[in-house]
Each structure stands twice: as structure tokens, then as C-alpha cells.
Amino acid sequence: MGEGLTRRQALQVGAAAGASAMAWGPLISRALANPPNCGSLKDIQHVVILIQENRSFDHYFGSHFGVTGFADASVLPLSDGSGLSIFAQPGYPGGFDGDHLYPFHFDSFKNGECTNDINHSWGPQHTYWDSGKLDGFVTGHLAADGSANGPLTMGYYTRKDLSFYYALADAFTICDHYFCSVIGPTDPNRLYSMSAWLDPAGTQGGPILSTSSTRVERFGTLSWTTYPEQLQARGISWKVYGNPDGNYGDNVLPYFKQYQTSPVLNANALAPTYPAQFHADVAAGTLPQVSWVLANLIDSEHPPAPSIYGESVAADVLNTLVSNPSVWSKTALFITHDENGGFFDHV
């Protein structure tokens, strides 16, 4: 996924940011006003999972208070003897403290809302990780993306930029030790989100370590068991509410043979749409027990798409659920990202 914004879409970002920010407070107040109708996890009747694209924890929430972010006192030291922590990434010519680059603010109200996509493929991601030393973000990105885009890995947003996500974190629960399942790009991580497997031995169509440029070439090539099949075998209802304009890569279920041949699997995985059918199912009280929500490309938060568009999707999902109190009171909503998109994270 690497499509850019049109000029019209880019000009809409500022207006969307202002209008959306005014709506966050009342929505969260409504969500909190309807208490959960459950005493234990067993009482949760609906699980809704919104998986967005390519943002790390520090990139979004490193500046949030009370989390394992930029104020983390237990941050790893650099292994170069400099006495600095990995917040000071080495290898940046003309940087600070001897060619180091520190995290810096992407100001979405100036020129930081729509940033270029940076390399997050299997090889470079493992370079950034550097066998757990986490000291290769700048050197790796300079090699993969050049001097203009490489430093973007250290950019981060603040409460001012992500007003809805920060309001959610204040009101509900934020998990500050989440990671991508695979140190790599979208396809492997989306496969983990739907199956927890990449077939490393290559006996069922894998292993999948990269993101396919066309996706269609992978349709019907995999055969291991997925989460939806496990749910269905246990009598648990499910749907994937996807992009009505077609599969652009976040729905990996078409990669599996069984979703090409089974009418039931195909119908639940490919036919439901977001937002139309998701809205309708919640309103009618027919939301399945487990739902995955996949936004369209421009709303997915994948750079260069603006974060505010993704926040609007998250707000819409929450608003839809809250609008039916009987559904919301017994629903657990999870909002996450498939992988870090190459952005720095210190944990």
C-alpha cells in the first residue's frame, strides 16, 4: 500500500481535524454514560476489532502521560559506549550529541499530518531491530529511504495532533506494550491477526514474509486454518466488514483456498461492508459475536494518509456501537495497528 493523497483530499485534512475534534468529547461522554452490562469476561457478547495501518506506540503515544513512552526510565542504553539511550539513535550526520537523532514532533497543524511512507519490509525492519539492540532505526532508514525520508522514523505525534485517540486513552484502557506480531510489513502481520501463522515450513503455501504488490497473485494459495474457521467450528458467529471498493490488502482471507471454495466462509469474509452493513447490523441488533472492521485505504492511517481520517473511522465505529445501548453495554472494542510502519519504538 503506497498510494498518495490527491490535492483535494489533502486540503480536506485541516477542515476534518477541526470538525472532528469538537465531536470527540460528547461521544466519549455518551460511551461512558452507558455502563457495561457484564460482571466478567464471559458476559461479553460481542468483540469488535478495528485494525489500522502502520503506526508504532511511541510514534503515536510516546508523549502520553503514565505510559511506557518517552519518559521510560528503564529504556535500553546504546551499546556504543556513548552513555546515551536508544532514544538517541546513532548514525545521523550533523545530529546531536555526536551524530545522534532524537524523537521529534510531527506538527499536524503545520506540515506533519501527511508524511511519506518509509520502508517497513522484512529485511530493513530487522536492521532497525538489530537483534534486540533497537539501535538501527536511523542508520537503517537512511540506507533504505535516503536522507530526505530516512529521519521520518523518529517523528511522533502528541495529544494536540491525535485528540480522539488521546481522549480514548484517557477514558478507557491503553496497552503500552503492544507489538507487531512479525518484524515486517502488512501481509505477514495481517495473516497473524487472522490465523497466528505464516507457515514457516512452507507446507501450506507459505511462508509469507513480504507484502504482495498485487495481492491477487496470492488468492487461493494458502491452506492453513484461520481464526474465523475456528470460531465457526465452535458455533461462534463472525464477520469481516471490509472495504466496499474491493480488497486492497488488509483482508488477507482471500489468500486462503477455503475462502474461495466455501460459500459460507466467502460470504462472511468478503460480502459484509464497512460502514454500510456494520451500521445496519449494529442498529438491528444482529452484530455477530466477533467482528473485524477494515477501513478503506485513505482512512487506514497508512502513510501518507492522515491520522485524522483514521481517528474519524475509530470514532464512527464507537459512535455506531454507542448508538445502540443494548449492544454497546455488552461489547468489547479493540483498536490497534497491524505493524509499526518503520516508525521508531523503544520497547
pLDDT at 9: 46
Q: Do both 83 and 186 map to the same domain?
A: no
- Segment 153-175, tens digit of pLDDT: 999 999 999 999 999 999 999 99
Do 221 and 329 belong to one domain?
A: yes
* Angle ∠(238,298,141) on CA atoms, nearest 5: 105
41 and 86 belong to one structural domain: no
**Most distant pair of Cα atoms in the chain: their distance:** 62
131 and 220 together in one domain: no
Measure the N-to-C terminal CA separation of the chain; round to a whole number of Å.
26
Asked if the structure places residue 163 within a domain, the reply is no
| Cα 228 from Cα 59, distance rounded (Å) | 31
165 in a structural domain: no
**Percentages (nearest 5) of helix, strand, coil residues in the chain:** 40, 10, 50
Instruction: Tell which of 156, 189, 208 closes a domain.
Output: 156
Q: What is the mean pLDDT of residues 84-112?
A: 95
pLDDT, tens digit (0-9, with 9 covering 90-100), for 227-283: 999 999 999 999 999 987 766 679 999 999 999 999 999 999 999 999 999 999 999
Domain boundary among 156, 186, 220: 156
* CA 14/CA 29 separation, integer angstroms: 25
Same domain, 216 and 332: yes
C-alpha cell at 230: 475456528
pLDDT, tens digit (0-9, with 9 covering 90-100), for 275-288: 999 999 999 999 99
Residues 279 and 318 in one domain: yes
- For the segment 52-60, the average pLDDT, to the nearest whole number, is 97
What was the pLDDT predicted at 24?
A: 82
Q: What is the pTM of this model?
A: 0.91
Q: Are residues 51 and 106 in the same domain?
A: no
Same domain assignment for residues 41 and 135: no
In a domain, residue 197? The reply is yes
Q: Which residues contact 6 (CB under 8 A, 6 or more apart)?
A: none
332, containing H or E segment: strand 331-337
Half-sphere exposure (CA, 13 Å, Cβ side) for 295? 25
Contact (Cβ atoms closer than 8 angstroms) between residue 74 and residue 67? no
- Is 159:152 a contact under the CB 8 Å cutoff? no
Hey, what's the cell of 81?
559506549
Is 222 a domain residue? yes
Buried b (16+ CB within 10 A) or exposed e, 197-222: bbbeeeebbbebbebbeebeebbebb
208 and 302 both lie in a single domain: yes
What pLDDT score does 227 carry?
A: 99
Question: Is there a single domain that holds both residue 114 and residue 239?
Answer: no
Same domain assignment for residues 84 and 15: no
Residue 23: what pLDDT? 64
> Total structural domains in the chain?
2
CA dist., res. 242 & res. 238, Å (int): 13
Q: Is the distance from CB of 108 to CB of 17 less than 8 angstroms?
A: yes
Positions of E strands within 15-162? 46-52, 89-90, 100-101, 104-105, 155-156
Are residues 70 and 140 both part of a single domain? yes
Residue 344 lies in a domain: no
120 Cβ contact partners less than 8 Å away, ≥ 6 residues apart: 54, 184, 185, 339, 340, 341, 342
Q: Say what the pLDDT of residue 34 is.
A: 87
In this predicted model, what pLDDT tens digit does every residue of 104-143 receive, in sequence order? 999 999 888 899 999 999 999 999 999 999 999 999 999 9
Any domain includes 203: yes
Domain extent at residue 94: 61-156
Domain boundary among 127, 156, 185: 156
- 255 lies in some domain: yes
Are the C-beta atoms of 177 and 68 separated by less than 8 Å? yes
Q: Is residue 308 part of a domain?
A: yes
